[in-house]
Amino acid sequence: MQAFDCAIIGAGPAGMSAAITLAKSGACVAVLDQASRAGGQIYRASADSPLPDAHVLGADYTDGATLIAEFERVDITHITQADVWHIGDDGRILFSHFGDTRELHCREMLLCPGAMERPMPIPGWTLPGVMTAGAAQVMLKSDAMVAKGAVFAGSGPLLYLIVAQYLRLGVPVAAMVDTTPRQNYLAAAPLLPRAMRNLPMLKKGLDLLREIRASGVPVYRGATDLQVLGDTRAQGLRFTSASRSHDIAADTVFLHHGVQPNLNMTRAMDLTHRWNADQLCWQVDTDAFGQSSVPHVAVAGDGAGIIGADGARMAGRLAALNILHRLDLLPQEGLDRAAAPDLAALAAMSPFRAFIDRLYRPSDALRLPRDPDTLVCRCEEQTLAQLRTGFEQGARDPNALKMLTRCGMGPCQGRQCGHIVAGLLSDWRNEPPETVGYYRLRSPQRLLTLDELSRFHAIPAPTEATE
Partner 1 sequence: MFQSLRKPERDRVTITVNGHPIEAIAGQSVWSAMALNGQTITRRAALSGEDRSAYCAMGVCFECLVEIDGLPNQQACLRRVTEGMAVTTQEITETTEATNAGL
Q: Please name which of 126, 154, 130, 117 lies closest in space to residue 375, comparing C-alpha atoms.
A: 126
- Strands of the sheet containing 236-241, edge to edge, are 224-229, 236-241, 244-249
User: 2 phi and psi, to 5 degrees?
Assistant: -65, 125
Min dist CB 126 to partner 1, Å, is 7
> Which residue, 5 or 302, has its beta carbon nearer to partner 1?
302
* C-alpha dihedral sign at 197, 198, 200, 202: negative
Q: Summarize as ranges the residues that interact with partner 1 (CB under 8 A).
A: 34, 36, 41, 50-52, 81, 83, 99, 116-117, 126, 128-132, 134-135, 138-139, 142-149, 169, 171, 232-233, 251-252, 262, 378-381, 410-412, 415-416, 447, 449
Q: Which is nearer to partner 1, 72 or 83 (CB)?
A: 83
The Cα 128–Cα 120 span in angstroms is 15
* 6 versus 136: smaller Cβ distance to partner 1: 136
CB closer to partner 1 out of 267 and 296: 267
Residue among 126 and 443 whose Cβ is closer to partner 1: 126
Strands 4-9 and 375-377: unpaired
- Taking the C-alpha atoms of residue 224 and residue 123, their distance in angstroms, rounded to an integer, is 12
What minimum distance in Å lies between the beta carbon of 168 and partner 1?
Answer: 11
Q: Please report how close the Cβ of residue 73 comes to partner 1 at its closest, in angstroms.
A: 22
Q: How far is the CB of 224 from partner 1 (least distance, A)?
A: 22
Q: Which is nearer to partner 1, 364 or 381 (CB)?
A: 381
User: Rounded to the nearest 5°, which phi and psi values hold at 167?
Assistant: -65, -40
Backbone angles phi, psi at 59, to 5 degrees: -65, -30
* Cβ at position 222, least distance to partner 1 in Å: 26
Which of 10, 116, 132 lies closest to 416, judged by CA? 116
Q: For the CB of residue 409, give the shortest distance to partner 1 in the complex, in Å.
A: 10
* Residue closer to partner 1 (CB basis): 70 or 452: 452
CB of 32 to partner 1, least distance (A): 14
d(CA 250, CA 403): 38
C-alpha span between 131 and 117 (Å, rounded): 11
